[in-house]
Amino acid sequence: MNTYSRCWLDYENPYLKKGSYTIFREQIQKDIAFYAIDPSLENTETGRVLTKEVGNFFSRFFEYSLTKVPKSGNRTLSLGLFSWPEVQKLLEGVPLPKYPEAFMIRYVSPEKGLVVGAKDPKGLVYGVFRLFSLLQQGISYTTLTLIEEPRNPLRILNHWDNLDGSVERGYAGRSIFFENNKITDDTDRLTDYARLLASIGINGVVINNVNVKERAPFLLTGEYLPDLVRLAQLFRPYGVRLYLSVNFMSPVIVGGLDTADPLEERVQRWWQERAAVLYKAIPDFGGFLVKADSEYNPGPHTYGRSQSEGANMLARALRPHGGLLIWRAFVYKLQDWRDRTIDRARAAYDIFHPLDGDFDDNVILQIKNGPLDFQVREPVAPLFGTMEKTNQILELQITQEYTGHQIDLCYLAPQWQEILSFDPHIEGKPATVASIVSGSTWGRPHGGMAAVANIGRDANWTGHWLAQANWYAFGRLAWDPTLSAQTIAQEWVRRTLSNDESMVNRVVAILQKSWPVYEKYTTPYGLGWMVTPGTHYGPSPEGYEYSIWGTYHRATHTEIGVDRTSTGTGYTTQYRPYWRDRYDKRETCPEELILFFHRLPYTYVMKNGKTLIQNYYDAHFEGYEEMRALQEEWNRLEGSVDPVVFTEVQQRFVQQEENARQWRDVINSFFYRKSGIPDEKGRPIY
Q: Annotated active-site positions, please?
A: 295, 373, 401
Question: DSSP states of 546-590 as a string?
Answer: TSSS-------SSEE----STTTT-GGGGS-HHHHHHHHSTTTS-
Question: DSSP states of 415-472 as a string?
Answer: HHHHHHT-----TT----HHHHHHTTTTT-S-EEEEEE----SSTTSSSSGGGHHHHH
HSE-CB at 177 with a 13 A cutoff on CA atoms is 28
> Helix, strand, coil shares of the chain as percentages rounded to 5?
40, 15, 45
The CA-based angle 464-466-468, given to 5 degrees, is 90
Alpha-carbon gap, residue 157 to 321, rounded angstroms: 22
Alpha-carbon gap, residue 247 to 225, rounded angstroms: 17
Alpha-carbon gap, residue 310 to 305, rounded angstroms: 7
Neighbours of 445 (CB within 10 A): 10
Question: DSSP states of 525-546 as a string?
Answer: TTT---BPTTT--SB-TTTTTT
Question: DSSP states of 115-177 as a string?
Answer: EEEESSHHHHHHHHHHHHHHHHTT---TT-EEEE--S-SEEEEEP-B-TTS-BTT--SSS-SS
Of 426, 346, 428, nearest in space to 384 by CA: 426
Q: 7 vs 191, 471, 476, 645, CA distance in Å?
A: 14, 10, 15, 11
The CA-based angle 633-634-635, given to 5 degrees, is 90
Give the 3-state secondary structure of residue 286.
Answer: coil
Sign of CA dihedral 43, 47, 49, 50: negative
φ, ψ for residue 589, nearest 5 deg: -65, 130
Alpha-carbon gap, residue 686 to 356, rounded angstroms: 51
Is 351 within 8 Å of 333 (Cβ atoms)?
A: no
DSSP state, 297?
A: B
Give the 3-state secondary structure of residue 320.
Answer: helix
Element (H, E) at 312: helix 307-318
Alpha-carbon gap, residue 437 to 433, rounded angstroms: 6
Alpha-carbon gap, residue 519 to 269, rounded angstroms: 49
Of 292, 191, 205, nearest in space to 243 by CA: 205
- Report H helices in 236-306: 250-253, 265-281
